[in-house]
């Protein structure tokens, strides 16, 4: 059912979101991690993307970077400490037992800014609970853009 706002004379079809060709889901499950252990990996999000939702199966700290070098440089930064200098941090999200599903507003734009960009985006996940394998689900739009 379309939404109609007589003040701005615009109709928006609520189903348009479901029909976007670039909409995708990226999922990953970590190895068994002890509390405060971090696993680094790459996720195939596309060279450029628009992230709108993060879901984890257990409390976790998720960090997404524009290059692998930035991820390595920022690896030991503690929760609650701001990055010093340019760290290429696209997103840092912390889920809790009460909130494992984060809707991102504003949406998060991301891109691989490596010298030769790849669709594989550097990612790290820190387990914030007792030993667990953490499943991560990211909802995003693939954006066709060359950088």
* Domains contained in the chain, number: 1
Answer yes or no: are the C-beta atoms of 117 and 33 closer than 8 Å.
no
* pLDDT number for residue 101: 96
Task: Say if 3 falls within a structural domain.
Answer: no
* Assigned domain for 18 exists: no
Residue 92 in any domain: the answer is: yes
Strands (E), the chain: 3-5, 10-12, 23-29, 38-44, 48-56, 60-65, 89-94, 101-111, 120-127, 135-142
Q: The domain spanning residue 77 has which CATH number?
A: 2.60.120
- Per-residue pLDDT 10s for the chain (147 aa) are 444 444 443 333 444 444 445 778 899 999 999 999 999 999 888 888 999 999 999 999 999 999 999 999 998 899 999 888 888 999 999 999 999 999 998 899 999 998 887 888 999 999 999 888 999 999 998 877 665
Could you list the residue range(s) of the whole structural domain that residue 86 is in? 24-142
């Amino acid at each position: 059912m379309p939404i109609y706002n007589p003040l701005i004379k615009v109709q928006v079809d609520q189903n348009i979101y479901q029909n976007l060709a670039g909409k995708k889901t990226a999922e990953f499950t970590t190895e068994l991690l002890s509390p405060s252990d971090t696993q680094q990996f790459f996720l195939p999000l596309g060279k450029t993307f628009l992230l709108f939702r993060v879901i984890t199966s257990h409390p976790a700290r998720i960090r997404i970077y524009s290059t692998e070098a930035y991820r390595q440089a920022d690896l030991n930064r503690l929760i609650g400490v701001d990055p010093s200098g340019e760290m290429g941090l696209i997103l840092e999200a912390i889920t809790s037992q009460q909130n494992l599903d984060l809707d991102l507003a504003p949406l998060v734009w991301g891109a691989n800014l490596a010298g030769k960009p790849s669709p594989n985006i550097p990612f790290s996940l820190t387990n914030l609970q007792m030993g667990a394998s953490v499943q991560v689900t990211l909802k995003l739009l693939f954006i066709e853009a060359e950088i």
